Amino acid sequence: MNMSKEAAKRVNIVRLKMVRESSLLYSQRRIRTAVDAVELFQKFLDETDREVFLLLCLSSKSEPTAIHTVSVGSLDASIVHPRETFKAAILANASSIIVAHNHPSGDPTPSKEDIQVTKTLQQAGELLGITVLDHIIVGTEGAYVSLSEKGYV
């Protein structure tokens, strides 16, 4: 075997798979409204003191198949990129997704950045064939804003 003067480099052979960390019993079979999704998201966001960005993967029948924490940020910011958001959605064979994050201040009013992230995720989802159904911002005491209901999605 005739090797060139450059040293050979190893290439890793990889396999991707999702690992179930735990599961959660959810009374609704399907997500029909933002309220249905908020009920599920609040179980993950109730007692956090930082922004947490979550992904809910849905089947073609709008049945929840997986929830994934995409990002944990600071008190008032979270870094969200389509690459990290859609990685779990692709592995879960999601037909559509709903994303959500909390505002630890308690006020679920969307920021300009929240709206821009939503638009960026929608564009990425269109390319991937995964529909972004909603982006929900969760505040305190049951308060939330659905960007879909507000016309941004």
Spatial separation of the C-alpha atoms in residues 133 and 65, rounded to whole Å: 15
Rounded alpha-carbon distances, angstroms, from residue 17 to 14, 57, 93, 138: 10, 15, 12, 30
- Report the C-alpha gap between 86 and 19 in whole angstroms: 16
Q: What is the structure's pLDDT at 5?
A: 66
CA–CA gap between residue 3 and residue 111 (Å, rounded):
57
Ranges of each domain in the chain: 34-146
pLDDT in tens, 72-104: 987 666 788 999 999 999 999 999 999 999 998
Q: What is the DSSP letter of 152?
A: -
Q: What is the pLDDT of residue 45?
A: 84
Residue 84: the pLDDT is 92
CATH superfamily of 34-146: Cytidine Deaminase, domain 2 (3.40.140.10)
> Tokens for 136?
């929900």
Do the Cβ atoms of 89 and 57 come closer than 8 Å?
yes
Q: Which of 50, 53, 40 is nearest to 101 (CA)?
A: 53
pTM beyond cutoff 0.75: yes
Burial 3-25 (b: 16+ CB within 10 A, else e): eeeeeeeeeeeeeeeeeeeeeee
Q: Which residues pair with 149 in a beta bridge?
A: none
Q: Is 80 helix (H, G, I), strand (E, B) or coil?
A: coil
Model confidence over 14-69: pLDDT tens digits? Answer: 877 777 877 777 777 889 999 999 988 988 887 788 899 999 999 999 999 999 99
Q: Could you report the per-residue pLDDT of 126-150, keeping only the tens digit for each? A: 999 999 999 999 998 889 999 999 9
